[in-house]
Structure 1
Amino acid sequence: MTLAELIAQARTALDTAITARQQEQDALVALRSDPNLTEDAVAARVATRDTADTEVTRRQTALDELLTEQARDEEIAALSARTVPAATRAPAYDRVARVGSEARTYRPDQDRRGRQFEQDVAAAFLGDYDARDRLSQHMREERVERPEVVERAAGTGAFTGLVVPQYLTDLYAPAAAARRPFADSCRPHDLPPQGMTVNISRITTATSTALQASENTNVSETDIDDTLLPVSVQTNAGQQTLSRQAIERGAGVEPVVLDDLFRRYATTLDSTLLNQATNGLSNVATAVAYTSGTPTGVGLYPKVLEGLSGVEAALLDMATGDNIAVMHSRRWYWLQNALGSTWPLITQPGIVAQTLGANYATTYGSGVRGVLPNGTPVIVDNNIATNLGAGTNEDEIYLVDRQECHLWEDPNAPMYIRAEQAKLASLGVLMVVYGYFAYTHARYPQARKIGGTGLVTPAFNGQ
């Protein structure tokens, strides 16, 4: 039995002795409350309690002795580690893996594409001993820094446990995605836990007031009425089947695939909010035409104000003033390219005079990219279609009160299912990402969209 096992055994014995002593003490307290108590009974119980006390002391002493012995053993081991016998010769410098301040054998700052590693693998097959030494040194470094990967990959190829340098896998390039800039700007709600429809009551016939014609005549009366606005709950989902070999023998394959599924999920959700037939923003917004054979930023801006005017006119006292303009990145950069000598006559808060707005220089998908001359925030979203119009080369600009762009999402979405049984016979693992959502831009018909020949593929010519 080892010293550690003896210590564990002593701790258990001490715990048992303490429990027994506590039971004796509890019994003594209970006895003293007995009305028929005798001195002999109390004395006997006290003696039993004292015996239990003695056992606790004995067990504690035994444990302390073992712990003292263990501490001394650790001191001796530490002293031994610091003592190097004179007869022992240190290994050669190049035969020891040094990790820390010493540079790795294969370094991303010197060989980002990993060509040296690949050349050494090929050369080792042809008998190049220097290449084999470098690969062996690399494997010793990997065992120190990534032991879990080395053990998992043991036995691959012609070299036992040969592992590709980490920097060749952690710089993978994920597939670009438009993701969800507009969806993140919508008014968020938690999706109800049950049901496949969200119902909203809209007052479509209002009450009325009017001037009374004369005294004692009837005053105006109109019966209030509502219309139900049903909003369907939709399912956004995608799947991918991976081989067990790819997951178990690859480096980071499953997280890479899962990340890509999440990117597609976000992109599909956002594109649905913008482009879905019937209910998407492009299909519920009222059109504002910008027709021009030579479009300019200065010519487009009045249409923006026309659209915003329509938004407020539709909402009246329900307007929050929290308006946004949603446009494609090509349109946003085209506006920044515009130059001119005509400026708004009315200045706006936060906008430098004689400019066509302000660019905040934030990254794509990080929120507001800038503001227009009247202070309206701009959301750049590349899920906006660029193949509209007769020439299939137009995009649209959307102007909305963001508080009237409603999005219900499950707080836990997207969900992830990893199913192994479904593809067991082929050693496959099925990965599924899904989520439920509902949306509407039609609680009030307030949205506006600018479209037309003035929004064809932009020419960056300073106009």
Structure 2
Amino acid sequence: MPGTIDDLIASIEVELEAAHKRSKKAGAEIQLILDKAQQDGRSALSAEEDERVAELFAARDQAKGDVTGIENKLANANKIKTEEMERQAEQRKAEPTQTRKPSYDQVARVGREERTYRKDEDPNGKNFLLDVSRQFLYQDVEAASRLSRHMQEERVERAQFLQRATNTGAFTGLVVPQYLTDMYAPATAALRPFADICNRHQLPADGMSVNISRITTASSAALQASENAAVSETNMDDTLLTIPVQTAAGQQTVSRQAIDRGQGIEDVTMQDLFNRVHTVLDSTLINQASTGLSAIAAANAYTDASPSGAELYPKILSAAAGVEAAMLAMGRPTHAVMHSRRWYWLSSQMSSTWPMINWTGIPAQSAGVANSGSSYGSGVRGVLPCGLEVIVDNNIPTGLGGGTNEDEVYVVPNSECHLWEDQDAPLMIRAEQPAAATLGVLLVAYKYFAYTFGRYPNAMQKIGGTGLVTPTF
């Protein structure tokens, strides 16, 4: 059966709002790309960025065209509603009858419907977790209804992210309400310091891999031997770089008693689940075999039985030089990523000599500057004399080397540390088979991501060896 004119107007307004959001989002991403190029000091966008900007302009123009068409539909619907209201006004002029008017709560009204899970009513996500668990444990009809309504709301407001998160057959789950991921972002970001400085991209709309082109044979140029002689020619060639989409997941077993009678369990549960997911993502970027940062970075050995900061610093510069030699005009070394123990060891080192060349803003007689009030996961911890910004990340292993007591320091251009994930972080959650013997329910949170550091050989550099054993203070 067709709905009322008010239902039609409400659905058109939802459609109009979604079109406005698409247009605004495309414009924001265009500005982000341009800001990035400006920040890097590049006079032109890369071919990949040009292509993406063209796609975004097309998407924005399409959204603007949609807005125009939807506004016309809305105007026509409002016109019909106005005519209906005029007819109803004429009908009300008739003589009143003795028919009893319907009760207030029996009259249909159209207005703004609040979200099922709201920050003002469920600030820590307790009701959301309870509904997930009770629907799984008891097949609770009301809990299932609320979760179904929540997912419908997500389809309206974050349809593109929901599609990306659920289109693979391997997993299905519930999108965590956005305000909860926003609320826990500061805490979880502390467990992904390196991931947060990567060059982030939107995860593709579908598929379980990301494909990008890597130029392996460049064109050539040379002096012409003589007039009308053949000029140098080398056909460009590229190799397809296929990057798998991976799943970062964490789990937490919640007791049935806590679900039924617990107070405040939602803080611990949500925090633990989010921490696990973001930690495994960051650790994967650094430590995964073959493709992780440690595996792909070119090695710079620092071997010394009595290491010192004065000896380590030139090795960092050597790694930075290696990055620049590999990247040339395509990028520059921007960050030194190290374990917290290495940062504090460097901070403890004393010296009576200083670099011949210091970066702007670094005091002349200083081996670097620490950001005041900085702490783990809060961003850049300090700046080395050569301008490299230091990121402290304790996902770097400390059991490397023959003595299983070494760590590594990485020097990277963050523009080439590519990470694909959904910017709005649509973490998923689902209830798995309960631990029946202990009356527990297993809650699993997960998200999808892809990454690569391999577009340019030797663009990532690392320092390792016996000079990076457990520091002595």
Same fold (TM over 0.5): yes
In the other structure, the counterpart of 2:148 is: none
Match of 2:245 among 226, 233, 241: 233
* 2:452 paired with 1:452: no
Distance in 1 (alpha carbons) for counterparts of 2:241 and 2:424? 26
In the other structure, the counterpart of 1:278 is: 290
* 2:460 paired with 1:440: no
**Does structure 1 retain, via aligned residues, the 8 Å contact 2:254–2:442?**
yes
Distance in 2 (alpha carbons) for counterparts of 1:452 and 1:424? 45
User: Identical aligned pairs, as a percentage?
Assistant: 61
In the other structure, the counterpart of 1:390 is: 402
In the other structure, the counterpart of 1:191 is: 203
- Counterpart code for 2:90: D
- Following TM superposition, by how much is the alpha carbon of 1:21 offset from its aligned partner in structure 2, in angstroms? 11
* 2:413 paired with 1:349: no
Distance in 2 (alpha carbons) for counterparts of 1:176 and 1:188? 17
Distance in 2 (alpha carbons) for counterparts of 1:417 and 1:396? 35
In the other structure, the counterpart of 2:324 is: 312
**Does structure 2 retain, via aligned residues, the 8 Å contact 1:398–1:450?**
yes
- Following TM superposition, by how much is the alpha carbon of 1:322 offset from its aligned partner in structure 2, in angstroms? 5.6
* 2:26 paired with 1:26: no
- Following TM superposition, by how much is the alpha carbon of 1:400 offset from its aligned partner in structure 2, in angstroms? 0.5
The alignment yields a C-alpha RMSD, in angstroms, of 3.1
Q: What CA deviation, in whole Å up to 9, does each residue of 1:324-382 have, x standing for no partner?
A: 00000000011111111111112320101111101113111010000111121000000
Distance in 2 (alpha carbons) for counterparts of 1:235 and 1:23? 58
* 2:274 paired with 1:262: yes
Matches within 5 A, 1:170-181: 179-181=191-193
Matches within 5 A, 1:133-144: none
* 2:225 paired with 1:213: yes
Q: What CA deviation, in whole Å up to 9, does each residue of 1:48-84 have, x standing for no partner?
A: 94866x99xxx9xxxxxxxxxxxxxxxxxxxxxxxxx
Q: SS where residue 268 of structure 1 aligns?
A: helix
Q: What CA deviation, in whole Å up to 9, does each residue of 1:212-238 have, x standing for no partner?
A: 111222111111110111111111112
Match of 1:325 among 332, 336, 345: 336
Alpha carbons of structure 1 residues 23 and 360: separation in structure 2 relative to 1, 3 Å: same
User: Gapped runs of 5+ residues in structure 1?
Assistant: 1-19, 28-47, 60-147, 149-174
Distance in 2 (alpha carbons) for counterparts of 1:386 and 1:24? 78
Matches within 5 A, 1:408-427: 408-413=420-425, 415-419=427-431, 422-423=433-434
Alpha carbons of structure 1 residues 244 and 293: separation in structure 2 relative to 1, 3 Å: same
Distance in 1 (alpha carbons) for counterparts of 2:396 and 2:300? 17
Q: SS where residue 261 of structure 1 aligns?
A: helix
- Following TM superposition, by how much is the alpha carbon of 1:240 offset from its aligned partner in structure 2, in angstroms? 2.9
| Count of aligned positions | 304
**Does structure 2 retain, via aligned residues, the 8 Å contact 1:416–1:431?**
no
- Following TM superposition, by how much is the alpha carbon of 1:415 offset from its aligned partner in structure 2, in angstroms? 2.2
Distance in 1 (alpha carbons) for counterparts of 2:191 and 2:312? 27
* 2:284 paired with 1:253: no
In the other structure, the counterpart of 1:111 is: none
- Following TM superposition, by how much is the alpha carbon of 1:26 offset from its aligned partner in structure 2, in angstroms? 2.9
- Counterpart code for 2:234: T
- Following TM superposition, by how much is the alpha carbon of 1:424 offset from its aligned partner in structure 2, in angstroms? 10
Distance in 1 (alpha carbons) for counterparts of 2:209 and 2:88? 66
Distance in 2 (alpha carbons) for counterparts of 1:243 and 1:190? 36
Matches within 5 A, 1:61-140: none
In the other structure, the counterpart of 2:171 is: none
Q: SS where residue 248 of structure 2 aligns?
A: strand
In the other structure, the counterpart of 1:364 is: 376
**Does structure 1 retain, via aligned residues, the 8 Å contact 2:338–2:410?**
yes
Distance in 1 (alpha carbons) for counterparts of 2:206 and 2:342? 41
In the other structure, the counterpart of 2:20 is: none
Distance in 2 (alpha carbons) for counterparts of 1:404 and 1:25? 66
User: Gapped runs of 5+ residues in structure 2?
Assistant: 1-83, 102-125, 127-186
**Does structure 2 retain, via aligned residues, the 8 Å contact 1:409–1:438?**
yes
